Amino acid sequence: MIYKGKRIIAVWILWTVAAVLAAALPTVSGHCETLRFVFMADCRGNSASDLIDTTVLKAIDEQILALSPRPSFVIFGGDQARYGYSHPHSRGEYNFKKFKDALKPLTDAGIKLYTVLGNHELYREGGTENGEITGDFFLENQQEFQKEFTDNPTNGPAGYERLVYSFESPQNDAFFAVMDCYYLAQDAPGTDLHGRFDDTQLAWLGDQLKKTKATHKFVFAHAPYYQIIGEQSKQNTTFTSLWKILDENRVDFFACGHIHLYSRKTIDSSINPDPQLPKPVSWKNRVVQLLSGTCGAEVDTGTPTVDRSAWHVFNDAKTYYFSVVDINGRNVKVKSYGGTAAPYQLIDQFTIPPHGTLPPDYLLLLD
């Protein structure tokens, strides 16, 4: 007769041995895959005469090109220019190609560019002499964005092509999904700057994450879920619904911009959903929120509403950021750089370990 206590110990030993072997031995699957990519966001300028901060972008381009190995691609998290369309009284043109030209040193070197739509992509220059933004979102801007960024995949929901999409690494062991929290079905006056996710996108993402066999999963959008700076209001429940999907599917990190500073925090059971859903949820896993929110836009230098040290907040004036992500087998390492001029210095680094090798309910296997 085998007593239950001994059975528990035996099962625990078997799982531990299996976990050690899985970590130590190479496999035929994509667990041996290595991949590097870069995330950055918010290079838009601050006036009609300063559409894109090309000075900062040039410095970051040069530093990315100096990386060894070079990254396979860059994911840009939105807010490319002061506005997506310049008013006819000055230029009368969309600014998406100008942004692509600013990153041409990277794409000419074979580094692919994927883009997230930000709120500034949907703006048009106002009719006043100082080029103020009206705050309205324009459907034609969104449609022009879809036409311009032809390297973005078209596998999102119908109508969301090149705005909401996913792709996998060459060996299919890393999954990437881009979301659009400003999606338009028509012109939208005075839309909420924080954005929201509609049910179509959320259902699509949940389905994509359930289907993928990838070890590593990364999701991107322009705006963050957890707010960092005092003048920013609380996010809406559609972001909580998004995070529920990320948590249930053990996503490695959610990367965003919009707030012009750097911050990263592992969101786990110690942090409450905010705002809470009508049917309350709690987080069971750990998903990092990586906010790398300016590579040119003016810095949000306000006082953080969170613990600066615990949330790894950097927001010195005129300091800009980008993050280099290395996938190496089962581990993910992120190095983030910041500074006022090239070469930018390492300001933060962290490793995302594999999600637990023991199933959370492994003792139930004894029954």
Asked if residue 8 is part of any domain, the answer here is no
pLDDT score recorded for residue 363: 31
Asked if residue 239 is part of any domain, the answer here is yes
Cβ–Cβ < 8 Å for 31, 67: no
The residues, ordered by sequence, that sit 6+ positions from 264 with a Cβ below 8 Å of its Cβ are: 288, 289, 290, 291, 311, 312, 334, 336, 348, 350
- Domain span including residue 348: 35-366
pLDDT score recorded for residue 16: 45
Give pLDDT < 70 ranges for the chain. Answer: 1-31, 88-91, 127-132, 231-233, 356-367
The DSSP line for 105-127 is: HHHHTT-EEEE---GGGG-BB-S
Q: What is the CATH number of the domain that holds 73?
A: 3.60.21.10
Asked if residue 78 is part of any domain, the answer here is yes
Other beta carbons less than 10 A from residue 268's beta carbon = 14
Asked if residue 66 is part of any domain, the answer here is yes
pLDDT score recorded for residue 230: 72
Domain tally, the chain: 1
Asked if residue 29 is part of any domain, the answer here is no
Asked if residue 23 is part of any domain, the answer here is no
Asked if residue 270 is part of any domain, the answer here is yes
* Partners of 339 in the β-ladder: 320
Cβ–Cβ < 8 Å for 268, 286: yes
d(CA 178, CA 219): 6
Distances (CA, A) of 36 to 190, 235, 329, 334, 364: 38, 31, 12, 10, 38
The reply to whether omega before 71 is within 30° of 0 (cis) is no
* SS3 of residue 81 by DSSP: coil
Read off the pTM. Answer: 0.88
For the chain, what's the residue count?
A: 367
Asked if residue 5 is part of any domain, the answer here is no
